[in-house]
Every structure is written in C-alpha cells, then in structure tokens.
Amino acid sequence: MTRLANPFPGGDPLFNHGLDLTVIGFVIVKTLIVFGLLLVSVLLYIWFMRKVIADMQNRIGPDQAGPFGILQTLADGIKLFFKEHSTPARADRPVYLLAPFVSALAAFLAFAIVPFGGIARLGTHTTFLQLADPPVGVLWLLAMSGIGVYGVMLAGWSSGSKYPLLGSVRASAQVLSYEAAMGLSIVGVLVHTGTLSTRGIVLQQTWQNWHSFVSQWLWLPAIGAFVIFLIAATAETNHPPFDFSEAEEELAGGYHIEYGGIRFAIFYLAEFMNMITMSAIAVTLFLGGPSGPKLGFLNQGGWVNVWIVPVFWFLLKLWVVLYATVWLRASLPRLRYDLLMDLGWKVLIEAAFLWAMVTGVIVVGQDQHWNLWIVTPAAAVAALLVYGFLMMCVPGKRELEDIR
C-alpha cells in the first residue's frame, strides 16, 4: 500500500514512516481511549468533589449508589438522560441544539495536546501517550479555549429569552477577560522553554534527581506565572469562587436556564471537562507533566518504568491540583462581579505582562552572562514602576462619577 509523506514532521513518531490505514487505526483508537478516560475522569471528579466537601463539612456524602457512592455521578447522568426534553418556542432550534456540543468539543480538543505518559511501542509502531503533539500545541490550547466561548454565547442567544442572553453576555465577558491573563501567563513558560510544543515543554522538565523538583520543574522558576495561570484558569472555567455564569440570585440560572435533561448535562460535562483540562495543562506547563522518579529496583527501560510510572506521576499531580480546586469550592464565597473584573483587568493582566517582561530580562541575562544579582532586582523595580504608572492612569471612583 502506498504511504503518504509524514504530515506532522517533528511531532508524534507514529507518523515518521508516513500515513497508512494502520496509522489511521492507531489514531482512532487513541482518540476513543483519551475521550473515554476524560469522561471517566469527570465522573470520578464529581464523586471526589462531593466526598471531599462532605468531609470538610462533617457530612457523609454519596454512599448508596455503588461502593462508597462511587456510581452516584453515573446515576445522575442516567437520570438526566431519560428526563423529558423541551425546546423554547422562540428558540433558534439548530443553534440551540448545537451550543452544548460546541462547549464539550472545545474542552476535549484542548485536552488532546496533554502528554499524560512517555512513549509506547506497539509492534513496529512508536507513539507518544498523548493524542496529538502539534508543534504549536500552546496556540492550539488558546484557540480551543476561545472556541469554548461560542458555546456559552450561542446557548444564551439561541434560547429566545432575555435571562439566558444576559447570563451568556456576562459569562463571555468573564471568560474573555481571564483568557487574556492566562495567555500572558503562559508566555512566561515559553520564555523559559523556547518551544510551543507541550511535549517539548515536558522534555525540558525531565526528572534527573530530587533537585529537579525545584530546578527543572517550572513551578518555582515561573512561580508568578504559575499563580496567575491557576487564578485565571479557575475563573475561565467558571469554578467557584468565580462561578458567575449561573449566579442564581442574580441571573435566575445563567445562560443554560432554558436547557434541561441531557442537554443541560452536556453543559455541566463541558464545565468539569474544562476544569480537568486546565488542571492537566497546569501539570504539563509547571509540574513536569508525567516526569518523575522511576523505580530503581526495576529495569529503567522496562515497560513498568516506561509505561506505568509516568502515567502514575501524571495522575498523582493532576489529582493534587484537582483537590486544590475542590478546596477552593468548599472554602471561598463568591466574589462580586465588579471585583472579579477588577481582578482580571487591573491586576492579573498587568502582572502577567510584567512577569513575562522580567522573565525575558533574566533569561537574556543568563545567556549573556550578566550579573543576575543586579539584573533581577533592577528588572523587578522597573516592573513595579511600570505597574504603578499604569495604576495612576486608571480613573478613580470620583473621576468616574464626574464622567458619568
């Protein structure tokens, strides 16, 4: 059979010898496996969230459906699947039906670039334990994050009611505001790594020894970008304390108020998929991805150290980050919307931009062998002066009242 040339040079080694039916079969199987794992992760995360919050509030949590209530989320999904569907009379039906799937598809496509393991060898083929490794993986993430906004906006607009429309406008403004801060925070990582490939970023955080935890992994060298990314990702995914898209006392339910049954469930599926995806991206960019110590008493090139151990470290880091999101949900009250927008536009965007600037100066200083004891404080002081100047340009409350 004639093979086509490699359509993805420099990416997944699965395509190194061209494209044929076997390779296409591998891609289809990988897609189904990754999609299934993401769905199972959503089910486990919802159960995990309920159990952790119940422990924090001295309750039992779900305990009837399956062992320890582990099938409660599945039972909820089955219930929603069989509930009656209704469509508003004034809705734009094609767009109304499409909107939930746009949100879910964007979340899944964003997860496609996450490397959750090392290299797998199946027969004569070698592939990454990752659905796709495009050379512009970070740009793909930002693009899919932007597409997710369309699902929210289309749901509110197509419902034919003013309440979901108001909720979708507010939710879209929130997502776009914090997407800017998240994108700028990733620039700090790109300055350190010099690549847009998520696999390339992980390879530069390869575990060498226990010192790699602070020297190779980027959570400490890019600590400012790490904190900004976590805050922005939490707000962009509509996670408490930033869950304004369905603030019941203000929006009567939000952009999906006219949805019910499985259509409503798809929106919530997309929301939790986004949370898991952003947590996985945080692990990839700042915590080394699947990188971690191997089992020294086993063959370093054996299937356990090559296949199982990297996946274990990735899942462990992922669930640590997800536990932190549950902790936030259980601990913090919802902010006011004006404070949310102030945090995004007046603090995070400027802080992410200035952090990228300081990081660039430090990286150039390292390359040029400058004295970092002088360069680093000077760059930090310059960043603070720029931030102070920007804040002076922001109108105060009295000035805004005079303008009004």
Say yes or no to pLDDT of 399 above 80: no
CA angle (364, 115, 175) in 5-degree steps: 75
- Asked whether residue 387 is assigned to any structural domain, the reply reads no
Choice between 48 and 302, residue whose per-residue pLDDT is larger: 48
Torsions phi, psi for 134 (to 5 deg):
-70, 150
Are the beta carbons of 164 and 255 closer than 8 angstroms? yes
- Report the domain count for the chain: 1
Length reported for the chain: 404
Give the residue from 256, 330, 321, 328 showing the smallest Cα distance to 41: 321
Are the beta carbons of 296 and 266 closer than 8 angstroms? no
pLDDT number for residue 18: 74
- Asked whether residue 102 is assigned to any structural domain, the reply reads yes
Residue 149: give the domain boundaries. 13-334
Give pLDDT tens digits for 360-383: 988 888 888 888 888 888 988 988
0.95 exceeded by pTM:
no
Give pLDDT tens digits for 317-342: 999 999 999 999 888 888 888 888 88
Cα 32–chain centre separation: 20
Percent of the chain with pLDDT over 90: 23
122-148 burial, b if ≥16 CB within 10 A, otherwise e?
eeeeebbbbbbbbbebbebbeebbebb
pLDDT number for residue 1: 36
Q: Is 252 left (phi over 0), alpha (psi -120 to 50) or beta?
A: left
- Asked whether residue 352 is assigned to any structural domain, the reply reads no
Residue with tokens 């004891």: 373
- Asked whether residue 29 is assigned to any structural domain, the reply reads yes
CA angle (252, 254, 260) in 5-degree steps: 90
- Asked whether residue 372 is assigned to any structural domain, the reply reads no
- Asked whether residue 348 is assigned to any structural domain, the reply reads no
**Per-residue CA distances from 139 to 143, 181, 190 (Å):** 6, 15, 11
Torsions phi, psi for 208 (to 5 deg):
-115, -45
> Mean pLDDT across the stretch 235-251?
75
- Asked whether residue 188 is assigned to any structural domain, the reply reads yes
**Per-residue CA distances from 19 to 13, 174, 232, 396 (Å):** 11, 42, 39, 60
Are the beta carbons of 34 and 112 closer than 8 angstroms? yes
> Mean pLDDT across the stretch 169-193?
89
Say yes or no to pLDDT of 264 above 70: yes
* Cα–Cα distance measured from residue 279 to residue 328, given in angstroms and rounded to the nearest whole number: 14
Give pLDDT tens digits for 25-61: 888 988 998 888 898 899 899 999 988 998 888 888 8
* Cα–Cα distance measured from residue 346 to residue 403, given in angstroms and rounded to the nearest whole number: 19
